[in-house]
Amino acid sequence: MTTALAFRAATDADIPAILGLVQSAYRGEASRAGWTTEADLLDGQRTDPAGIAEIIDEPDGLLLLAEADGELVACIHLERMERAAYFGMFSVRPTLQAQGIGRAVLAEAERRVREDWGATEMRMTVISLRDELIAWYGRRGYHPTGQQQPFPYGDARFGLPRRDDLCFAWFSKPLNGGVA
């Protein structure tokens, strides 16, 4: 992508666009245009308007948007966790994936939590079966912590599992060149 990205915090007015972006990046046929789809693992929604509004209103969080030419192309949810930060709901428009946008958004997120919050570590979770995605994060310095978290089966807010062996694996990356 040749256009520079502009970053800003999400507002309630952005909820419909964020919902469309996140859903298209993770679920359904639209997600298959990119490489980060969960369509083979989960059906249903990835999030809903109320969930996005909660994230936007979070006092210890930030829903960071990336725009190109005034259009939403990516988002990432950041949450303060003592001296660490957590990121999730990381989404890049499927037709723009594999063009460096994800790397740029993640780098900006890491910079912000390090400089603005003093975070020394970034943490995240990924469905443990997502080998290609886990390898992508590994190339960006994220390493498994050995911790796992069960998938919230029975809670349709997080999707409708197509398998019974889903769980989240935790990963972390030291920031500031320190040790996490």
Is-contact 84 171, C-beta < 8 A? no
161 CB-near residues (< 8 Å, 6+ apart): 41, 42, 151, 153
The CATH number given to whatever domain includes residue 121 is: 3.40.630.30
Gap between the Cα atoms of 1 and 97, Å rounded: 10
Q: Is the pTM of this model over 0.75?
A: yes
Domain that holds residue 56: 6-174
pLDDT digits (tens, 9 = 90+) for 36-71: 888 889 988 889 999 999 999 999 999 999 999 999
Gap between the Cα atoms of 19 and 178, Å rounded: 35
pLDDT digits (tens, 9 = 90+) for 160-178: 999 999 999 999 999 975 4
In a domain, 1, yes or no: no
In a domain, 86, yes or no: yes
- Per the structure, how many domains does the chain have? 1
> 22: burial class by Cβ within 10 Å (0-12, 13-18, 19+)?
buried
Strand, coil or helix: 136: helix
